Chain A
Amino acid sequence: MPDSSPVAHRHARQVQKNMQQGTIVSFTTVRHPPAGFPVQPRVIALITLDDASMILAPITSGAPMIGARVFPRMQLSRINENHLRLYDIAFEVLTPKSVPLDVSFPGYLLALTGPSGVGKTTISRQLVSMFATHTENVPILTTRKPKKGDDGEYKYISKKEFEIMRARGEIVAAVDLPSRSEERSYGYLATDIEAIWHKGMLPVVITEMHLLESLAMHYGRRSILSFGLLPPGRSKRAMLSALLHRLRTRGRETEEAMQDRLQNAERDLAFFKEREDLFDHLITNDNLDSVMALFQQKVPSLQEA
């Protein structure tokens, strides 16, 4: 009997070696499959497997074509007289999705992420001045009021304007950070980033964890060369105390605000660990010159500068 259990057993031993991709040599639709098989018309192909052997097997999905690539799957083939369910290889034609050809890779972003006080602004300013012909800062849109100590990195707009722009999709990444007094929103304008690309330059964004995540969502993770900046220090404690020291030297904020920032910093440090996938390099900012040298080494478009 063709489908008896011992026959099925011997056949099953052969199956594993045939679980390979292959190419259709020819195919046909059998309108009246033999007894035991489902009665629907059955598409069967002669397939050259990747090890050059050939196999006759059904095609279960996709539109077969001579020369098309097929992928193996184990599927229920038929049920024998003893009600044994017989599985066999069937192949699927995977039709590649067409990709519009006129989309070109616009370029990439250099993202600097790190806790407050780690030196993001200093580093970005240094980068832009050292490599003035290669890099440009992306201004941060914010709804907060200008503060003493802001150094041209912000574009100030009203909450209403921000919401309108966000609704229009002009803001590529946005985050709402509650503070003690008001809700502040931050973000980047797509036109700002794209204008820098059009100039053939590398946009440098100062960012934080939420903005980095949404940038990665918007442009794709591979479009971002992402640097995490760590304060000097071997332990978390040492790092945090280094940060506190810097914040105090900066002298912009009240002690209370600094304690808030320190708490956020702790979360930022944990984020480096949690979302390792969002960072290409983690750099300790202990000496500006060596950090710059490192950037020149790690950033492709700065290597020739």
Chain B
Amino acid sequence: MNSPIFLTGYGQTKFGEWWDKGLRDLAEEAMTAAITNANIPSTAVDMIIVGNMIGELGSDQAHLGSLVSSLLPHHPPALRVEAACASGSVALHTACALLESNRAKTVLVLGAEKMTDASTEAIAAALMGAADSEKDRPSGLTFPGIFGLIAARYMHEYGLTREDLSLVSAVHHRQAVENPFAQFRSEISPEHISCSSPISDPLRLLDCSPITDGAAACILSTTCQSSIRIAASQLATDTLSISDRPSITSFTATQKAFQEALQEAGITRDDIACLETHDCFSIAAVINMEDLGFAECGEGIEIYRKIFENPEASPFAVNRSGGLKACGHPVGATGIKQVIDTAKYLKTTNTRFGAAHNFGGAGATCCLHILEHTAL
């Protein structure tokens, strides 16, 4: 970071299925919560970045920059960014660039997604937009299908079992019990996960993050100080289609983004006290542990096994919020929610560094943020 960027405030809606809230309502609720939390006048916001993926298909609404700007009395300049499931973190990355270049001093970054107004088929088709429409879609593949292919290959290469995989969602559900904003706050046993209905083999229903409504917002500022600072913001990209990659059992964008983020923050992996990782499907969480360098290839599951057996045994916290699986995955809001949960963890445990790892598609876009907590 060229200049210190502070996470001045944050707020979010409870994630879930909100029949009585539209895209605008969700955005307003999160924005208000963030501004209140930051304890600044709303007119201090001099720019808005909105992260959203399927506004057009889920709510017949494009032009989300203006939609959100309309909610503030002074209608600050606003733009929308889209990078599939990484839309939220890429919005944060965009905000960092504007702040670093001094284009803005205080930016409202808002991620919002309204997914339950349209039919499940329509949402599934819209999410498939995160894959390659010419190379992936004509085969009849769905997004769970893509991760089914990844999981099947991973199991073939490393001998991961169905029972192992169930530990991931079990850990996430258990950790979400404490999170008032999570969509699902109940423990689920690995056995129950293993026998949930099949979606795309070997993945089952409880391996997949749900369809969720929700919004999350952050106030990033170079002037309004706080105890949380953005220590690194890195973006990396890979091929859109998995059929263009030499390997489907690791995501190079994750490796690259984290490497560079650690470098930017000037720290090592061991300094990370907590991690919010992108577990859109259980297999993704296992692969992320390896790509982020916390486990050797084929051994990502060991971290989850350790946490499942004894939550305190892991040297760093993983998805304490419940991850995408249990919190819900309102696509454009997830990347921002991860940063919020990381900040909360650092504050409550009084630890220093935390990382938020968010990716889009099958790891085609990866955006990583490292937060530093310093007692003021």
Contacts and interface: CB of A to CB of B under 8 A. Distances in A.
A35 B125 contact: yes
Given A31-B200, A34-B125, A77 B152 contact: no
Most buried by A among B124, B136, B139, B241: B139
Given A28-B200, A54-B243, A77 B148 contact: no
Contacts of B162: none
A201 to B, nearest CB: 53
Contacts, number: 95
A30 B148 contact: yes
A46 interface: yes
Given A34-B121, A34-B128, A35-B125, A28 B152 contact: yes
B121 A31 contact: no
B150 A77 contact: no
A167 B241 CA distance: 65
B75 interface: no
B284 to A, nearest CB: 15
Contacts of B289: none
Q: Give the contact-size bracket for chain B.
A: 35 or more
Given A26-B152, A26-B156, A33 B142 contact: yes
B236 interface: no
Interface in B106-137: 121-122, 124-125, 128, 133-137
Contacts of B224: none
Contacts of B266: none
A296 B156 CA distance: 57
Name which of A14, A37, A56 has the most chain B CB atoms within 10 A of its CB: A56
Interface string B306-328: 00000000000000000000000
Contacts of B136: 56
Interface in B239-284: 241-244, 248
A37 to B, nearest CB: 4
Contacts of B133: 2
B199 A32 contact: yes
A182 to B, nearest CB: 70
A27 B138 contact: no
Contacts of A268: none
A29 interface: yes
A30 B141 contact: yes
A55 B152 contact: no
Contacts of A44: 139-141, 145, 149
A66 B156 contact: yes
B142 A29 contact: no
A92 to B, nearest CB: 15
Contacts of B200: 28-31
A29 B201 contact: yes
B344 interface: no
B198 interface: yes
Nearest to A10: B134
Interface in B135-171: 135-142, 144-145, 148-153, 156
Contacts of B141: 30, 34, 44, 56
A128 interface: no
Nearest to B201: A29
B153 A25 contact: yes
Contacts of B135: 55-56
Contacts of A55: 135, 243
Nearest to B139: A56
A305 to B, nearest CB: 56
7 contacts: A11-B138, A26-B153, A30-B144, A44-B145, A46-B243, A66-B152, A88-B139
Interface of B: 121-122, 124-125, 128, 133-142, 144-145, 148-153, 156, 197-203, 241-244, 248
